[in-house]
Amino acid sequence: EPEVTQTPSHQVTQMGQEVILRCVPISNHLYFYWYRQILGQKVEFLVSFYNNEISEKSEIFDDQFSVERPDGSNFTLKIRSTKLEDSAMYFCASSWRNEQFFGPGTRLTVL
Amino acid sequence: AQSVSQHNHHVILSEAASLELGCNYSYGGTVNLFWYVQYPGQHLQLLLKYFSGDPLVKGIKGFEAEFIKSKFSFNLRKPSVQWSDTAEYFCAVTDRGGNKLVFGAGTILRVKS
């Protein structure tokens, strides 16, 4: 059964550094998403992406964040200058007929 | 803005006990409703969903949920839990026009064998 995959599973970075989180959505899906979950808090929507552009973004998704689909398979989330409060689990999802399928997540730790 | 409330943060049950996890949402329009489960060390998986039609929906692993529009609720049930149901359960909603999921805080279920 096809799955959403994410790499790396764990990323440790220094504050102020750029990170890129990678996702490979399910191949025939058209909508892609990033969510995050800070430890002990709710899963929060960051951004949705359709037809090579952002379709919706949350207040969290400020100028430090960007998304890209650089080729036909990858979907990336870039954080330009990480802050301590960016430490969280980041989930990628893709959807088909209003059902979202999630990847295993990348745990980002900012020191 | 939409919000989702899950009433219990931690639930501990013995095997074979019945389960009901509460979920209420705030959005007054037409919604799609979901329950996701996250087993320890695994990713979010869809348990069941409601888009329209019969308000009692059945999902995987013997779970079901009932949509009660007048109460803005979508409670999850299972008549007899197993140790393997130990996991965190998330209720989520999207409005019909949008595609972002709004999640509840999650309920951690521990089933004692």
Tens of pLDDT along B38-88?
998 888 999 999 999 999 999 999 999 999 999 999 999 999 999 999 999
Tokens read off for B59: 């999902």
Mutation choice for A interface testing from B45, B47, B57, B99 by most A CBs within 10 A: B99
Residue at A111 is within a domain: no
Residue A51 lies in domain: 5-98
Does residue A40 form part of some domain?
yes
> What CATH number did the domain enclosing B33 receive?
2.60.40.10
* A29 is a domain residue: yes
Cβ-Cβ contacts under 8 Å, A99 against chain B: 46, 49
Rounding to the nearest 10 degrees, give the CA dihedral for residues A35, B43, B5, B50. 100
Q: What is the number of structural domains in chain B?
A: 1
The number of folded domains in chain A is 1
Residue A108 lies inside a defined structural domain of this protein: no
User: Is residue A103, in this structure, part of any structural domain at all?
Assistant: no
- Distance from the Cα of A110 to chain B's closest Cα (Å) equals 21
What is the torsion angle, in degrees rounded to the nearest 10, for the CA atoms of residue B57, residue B63, residue B67 and residue B72? -160
On whether residue A62 sits in a domain, the answer given is yes
Give the CATH number, domain containing residue A71.
2.60.40.10
Decide if A58 touches B, using CB distance below 8 A. yes
Whether residue B93 contacts residue B2, with contact meaning beta carbons closer than 8 Å, is answered with: yes
d(CA A86, CA B91): 24
Write the pLDDT tens digit of every residue in A27-62. Answer: 989 999 999 999 988 999 999 999 899 999 999 999
What is the rounded average pLDDT of the residues A68-82?
93
On chain A, the residues whose CB falls within 8 A of the CB of B103 are 35, 42-44
**Domain coverage including residue B79:** 4-112
